[in-house]
A and B are shown apart, each in its own frame.
Chain A
Amino acid sequence: MANFESGLYYSESHEYVRVEGEYGYIGISDYAQHALGNVVYVDMPEVDDEVTAGEEFGAVESVKAASDLIAPVSGTVVEINESLDDEPELLNKDAFANWIIKVQLSDPSELDNLMDVEAYKKHCE
């Protein structure tokens, strides 16, 4: 069964944001990695790229399907998780520990549009 981590913000398309100060770590939920199956490739933006809430910023490819990554919040990419280049399976091992991009939030009020863990759990039922 999928794990759900509290304290994160979740989107309907199964991305999460972990907020630390003015930064947000964006990844996919454990539920999402479970549904995708074995991840074989993660397509990530580059540092300094802008991401916009509701728009695609990359993709996760598994043996089943390729799925777009939708940015839950807007901001500037300050770091990408480079270890996913060689080991995309890290997303299967621990989706919450292995975030995909770190962004500097440009509009923290966007977080209000996202779900807390309880609402997200319901969304996944």
Chain B
Amino acid sequence: MNRTLYGNLIFELSKKGRKGYSLPQDYDRTHTTAELPEALRRKEAARLPECDELTVVRHYTNLSHNNFGVNDGFYPLGSCTMKYNPVINEEIAAMKAFAGLHPLQPAETCQGALEVYYNLQQSLAELAGLSEFTLNPCAGAHGELTGLMVIRAYHESVTVPEGSPEGSHEGSRTKVLIPDSAHGTNPASAAVCGLEVVEVKSLADGTVDVDHLRQLLDEMGDQVAAMMMTNPNTLGIFEPRVLEITEMVHKAGGLMYYDGANLNALLGECRPGDMGFDVMHINLHKTFSTPHGGGGPGSGPVGVRKGLEQFLPYPRVTRPTPDPSRQGGAELRIVTAPANERSEALPLTGERGEGLSIGSFFGNYGVMLKAYAYILSLGRENVKMVGPLATLNANYIKESLKDDYLLPIEGLCKHEVVFDGLVDKSTGVTTMDVAKRLLDYGYHAPTIYFPLLFHESLMIEPTENESKETIDAFIDVMHRIAAEAKSDPELVKSAPHNTPIGRVDDVLAAKQPVTTYWKSIEA
């Protein structure tokens, strides 16, 4: 990138009065803000950069070359499931028939779009072993919050058996059990939902300490609204006692929530519903290939087991039972029935009822289209390969690297593997240094310093997408970095050397963040 000409920041390129458009001469007369109340009118012009169009295009095109995504190279960011987003997903999501829809369009004019929503929720229900999904939540944590609200609504609806102490009701269940190895969003979502977090200890191998769980349930079982769990857990280890855990929590009257962050490990192999989970969310932007990073958009559908459907948020897409006397009632078509029969005659209705709503309309619809395209592209047979291949790739990396990188937990992992830094820490090279050095070799860094159970966590998730050649090349580079850490530790500690920007001062960035740029505006 020619930084002198095209700048690090668009503001650096601004020249007062320069613009890339011309307006009709009488524009100011016809477009005036005079009708707006005084209080809403700007006193001075917004401080926006002023540039010609070609400069703007070059600036952003050059910047885009500094980007790194799954389409550029291997992106083993643990816990994030950085899958390839197939091109067909984008083609379908860009179809005008979908992209041009308005969220307030009458249901009869968007039957196809509603059918995608309906079919996707059914596909997810089948893959998860649950009864029904809402696709409305816009991300994983949003899904967690929605799921917990569903759980709270369920407890509040349960009538208390006669003879219970006065003042007690199921709605008074306010505690959520969360393993100490959980994703930070779990306790955060519980807190936002007004519930109280109780930490469940993990054993040395990162799995739930069932004895501690039992002790907690003995102490406060009648106050437990739910337990949140990820399986496999944040260390990529399958919880061997999951059936026992779900049974214990159910016996105490609580519900089981499944955090779908790590669902990719299980996809096609086993189902959260079969493990005894009642409510879960799925990250479409992880398990179902839709793009993420850079803030989204994501999608975090929430599914529930039979009996909890009525607590799902609105709006919903439903298919009324076809009336056998009406010909073709189950077919999807645009029905031009008289207004009073319209809702009955429509095979799919977008209900906008009272009750829980958790966002705008049906959520991030474009993401759903991509996920649905992905599921249909894979088909029933191939979707079964996802979990096993992702698991095979992670274990291949684990076994190949464990001589150089400290493996704290022996045995099989699932879709991701966590190392605790280098085996040889004598030269002082840290996980951070290894991650930075990987950038020099053209790889995205793995997740570092998470999970918090180890001091030098290095978490690698290859996904099922990668070829053996790519994974072998990555393993070679990891060995090479381990060798460099011995022979030339300074080289690793001062990495990266081949990137547009070298080692940044993350302490200064955290202590004195500069988030605005004003300097050259007046120039």
Say yes or no for B65: interface residue by CB 8 A criterion: no
Chain B residues lying within 8 Å of A38, measured Cβ to Cβ, are: 506-507
Residue B326 is within 8 A (CB to CB) of chain A in the complex: no
Q: Does A123 interact with chain B (Cβ within 8 Å)?
A: no
Chain B neighbourhood of A64, CB < 8 A? 449
Q: Mark B447-486, 1 if CB is under 8 A from A, else 0.
A: 0011010010000000000000000000000000000000
Q: Does B510 contact A (CB under 8 A)?
A: yes
Q: How many residues of A contact B (CB 8 A)?
A: 12
Give Cα A41 to B511, complex, Å.
Answer: 7
Asked if A30 is an interface residue, CB under 8 A from chain B, the answer is no
Residues of A close to B510: CB separation below 8 A: 40-41, 61, 63
Quick one: which of B93-130 are within 8 Å of A by CB? none
Q: Are B452 and A65 in contact (CB under 8 A)?
A: yes
Interface residue total, chain B, C-beta cutoff 8 A: 8
Within the complex, the shortest CB–CB distance from B512 to chain A, in Å, comes to 10
Residues of A within 8 A of B506 (CB): 38, 63
> Which residues in A have their C-beta under 8 angstroms from that of B449?
37, 64-65
Shortest distance from the beta carbon of B219 to any chain A beta carbon, whole Å: 15
Q: In the complex, A37→B511 CA distance in Å?
A: 14
Q: Mark A29-70, 1 if CB is under 8 A from B, else 0.
A: 000000101101100000000000000000001011101000
Among residues 403 to 459 in chain B, which have CB atoms less than 8 Å away from a CB atom of chain A?
449-450, 452, 455
CB distance from B346 to the nearest CB of A (A): 50
User: Taking the nearest CB of chain B, how far is it from the CB of A85, in angstroms?
Assistant: 11
Chain B, residues 374-404, CB within 8 Å of chain A (1/0): the string is 0000000000000000000000000000000
CA A40 – CA B450 in complex, angstroms?
18
Q: Which B residues are CB-close (under 8 A) to A37? A: 449
What's the Cα separation between A40 and B505 when bound, in Å?
Answer: 12
**Chain A residues within 8 Å of B, Cβ to Cβ:** 35, 37-38, 40-41, 61, 63-65, 67, 88-89
A sample of 20 cross-chain residue pairs with beta-carbon separation below 8 angstroms, ordered by A number, consists of: A35-B455, A37-B449, A38-B506, A38-B507, A40-B507, A40-B510, A40-B511, A41-B510, A41-B511, A61-B510, A63-B506, A63-B507, A63-B510, A64-B449, A65-B449, A65-B450, A65-B452, A67-B452, A88-B511, A89-B507
Starting from the known contacts A40-B510, A63-B507, A65-B450, 17 additional A-B residue pairs (CB-CB under 8 Å) come to A35-B455, A37-B449, A38-B506, A38-B507, A40-B507, A40-B511, A41-B510, A41-B511, A61-B510, A63-B506, A63-B510, A64-B449, A65-B449, A65-B452, A67-B452, A88-B511, A89-B507
